[in-house]
Amino acid sequence: MNVRKLTLCELKDKFMKGEVSAVEIVKAYFQRVLLVESKVKAYITTAKKDALVKEADELDFTLSKWRKTMPLMAMPIAVKDNICTKGVKTTCGSRMLENFVPPYDATVVARMKEHGYYLIGKTNMDEFAMGSSTETSAFGPTRNPCNLAAIPGGSSGGSAAAVAAELCVAALGSDTGGSIRQPAACCGVVGLKPTYGRVSRYGLVAFASSLDQIGPITKDVRDAAMMMQVIAGHDPLDSTSADVPVPDYMKALKENLRGMKVGVPLEFFAEGLDPEVELAVRTAIIQMQALKAEIKEISLPMTTYAIAAYYLIATAEASSNLARYDGVKYGHRAKEKGLLEMYMKTRQEGFGAEVKRRIMLGTYALSAGYYDAYYGKAQAVRTLIKRDFDEALKEVDVIVTPTMPTPAFKLGEKIQDPLQMYLSDIYTISVNLAGLPAISLPCGLSSGKLPIGLQIIGRPFEEEKVLRAAYAYEQATEWHLKRPGL
């Protein structure tokens, strides 16, 4: 049995039946890390093998006497490096937090611990989650396991690459403007961004607080549902956490779409969409129709303004959130004697070029005389974008779009052109502005053998419908079974 080829649900079932031990699981994944990680560079920090093997051995001994059922017991899961892990470095891919070790766990990590998971490592990411390619990390870029010359997407590129390369059984990412879905599309895996407020943000290092959301990156849709069952739910430690009941996501998974109405927005199939991506997505829509879904064309006219609105709101919130990194309380501190000089030198040394760019954009948007003209208008546009989705989702159950306008591009291709880089998130950003749940799953391959992603968007707190639509499509196709040949 090749442990690494199993999905999270398959591996859990075999472990609970005693067909594979915790030690075998841990050793199999560490062996893979030893063989492949130097090529992919998905991790910033990896767990200590000896300590984890010892823990696994103790678990096996305990279970030989008493078998306890926990969804994630002995499962090697990776965590994006902007999610706090007690006693394990959390760098945010930045020199500013290069040596920061949190004294507490994020709520999502605490919940996974309660369910017995193993932290196999902290994954690489664009610095402070600001990027679409995982090239802005202070620790070097991650590579796409499907093609080592291509980007893995961003900002959760390390998490998506780790799942695709079988360096973990599942991973957590964060999504501010597409940072779970976009890398999932690039690497040919599944990425779910929950409704804003569905999953606690406590312990997530803030980028843009009104947009950030934690979610799973997995091998298939069933695994995403299982991960959501563990991490979702109200958290009193997060003031934006919604006190809404969590449904049984696994029970929502069905192999047909009978009775579901699927919306196809005209604005997402316009100029700039790669022909191969359009063909793959339209073929997926035909497949959904064959699964008994009713297909309906819809319009989301304010989509045109999503990029502009997002890059005002997100940068403004980033400017405010990143003001805390001043060299006084924690993180990097420059060796300067004067207070003002120390502040300036700390931020100059600690932040990379993209983070500095976004701080300056956000500070300008919030400055006196420009607040109403820029930030205020962007928030008004955000309201209109949400209204578009609200109206459309009265007519349909879910909305289907491409995840990205193109397959993954080459490393270095757009790093010097921020505007082109920003446009790679054009289909995902509006979902964050509206606070909706959305999933990306594979729906094809380009002529260059790179994955193409299908995005399914749902109503607030209706992740089960999004998962149902994704699962039905996934089970009717084989795109999720295609793995990179590293």
Q: How many domains does the chain have?
A: 1
Specify if 376 maps to a domain.
no
Mean pLDDT of the chain: 96
Token couple for 342 = 């120390």
Q: 261-265 and 294-298: which strand pairing?
A: parallel
Known catalytic residues are 80, 155, 179
- Residue 483 — very low, low, confident or very high, per pLDDT cuts 50/70/90? confident
Query: For residue 68, what pLDDT is reported?
Result: 66
Residues 6+ apart with CB under 8 A from 472: 254, 255, 256, 257, 288, 291
- Residue 335 CA to residue 15 CA, distance in Å, equals 52
Query: For residue 486, what pLDDT is reported?
Result: 74
- Residue 55 CA to residue 218 CA, distance in Å, equals 24
Specify if 346 maps to a domain.
no
Nearest to 170 by CA among 310, 9, 317: 9
Residue 46 main-chain phi, psi, to 5 deg: -115, 155
Query: For residue 271, what pLDDT is reported?
Result: 87
What is the share, in percent, of the chain residues with pLDDT greater than 70? 99
As a whole number, mean pLDDT of residues 170-190 equals 98
pLDDT tens-digit map of 41-58: 999 999 999 999 999 999
- Residue 279 CA to residue 339 CA, distance in Å, equals 58
pLDDT tens-digit map of 326-372: 999 889 999 988 899 999 999 999 999 999 999 999 999 999 888 88
Q: By CB neighbour count within 10 A (0-12 exposed, 13-18 middle, 19+ buried), where does 413 fall?
A: middle
As a whole number, mean pLDDT of residues 212-224 equals 98
Specify if 472 maps to a domain.
yes
Specify if 365 maps to a domain.
no
Query: For residue 368, what pLDDT is reported?
Result: 84
pLDDT reading at 185 higher than 80: yes
Specify if 33 maps to a domain.
yes
Token couple for 299 = 């319009």
Total residues belonging to the chain: 486
Residues 6+ apart with CB under 8 A from 26: 49, 52, 53, 56, 74, 76, 118
Tell which wins on pLDDT, 320 or 419. Answer: 320
pLDDT tens-digit map of 361-379: 999 999 988 888 999 999 9
- Residue 292 CA to residue 446 CA, distance in Å, equals 27
Place of tokens 């030198």: 345
User: How far from each other are the two terminal CA atoms of the chain, in whole angstroms?
Assistant: 19
What CATH number is given to the structural domain containing 19? 3.90.1300.10
pLDDT tens-digit map of 415-457: 999 889 998 999 999 999 999 999 999 999 999 999 999 999 9
pTM passes above 0.85: yes
- Residue 65 — very low, low, confident or very high, per pLDDT cuts 50/70/90? low
Specify if 283 maps to a domain.
yes
pLDDT reading at 145 higher than 90: yes
Residue 462 one-letter amino acid: E
pLDDT reading at 87 higher than 90: yes
373-378 contacts, C-beta under 8 A, 24 or more apart:
374/312, 375/312, 375/313, 375/316, 377/312, 378/308, 378/309, 378/310, 378/312, 378/313, 378/316
pLDDT reading at 66 higher than 90: no
Specify if 337 maps to a domain.
no
- Residue 484 CA to residue 192 CA, distance in Å, equals 21
pLDDT tens-digit map of 268-292: 998 889 999 999 999 999 999 999 9
pLDDT tens-digit map of 96-131: 999 999 999 999 999 999 999 999 999 999 999 999
- Residue 186 CA to residue 446 CA, distance in Å, equals 11
Angle, helices 275-290 vs 463-476, to 10°: value is 100
Specify if 334 maps to a domain.
no
Residue 265's H or E segment, with its range, is: strand 261-265
State the residue range of the domain holding 144: 3-300+387-481
Query: For residue 3, what pLDDT is reported?
Result: 95
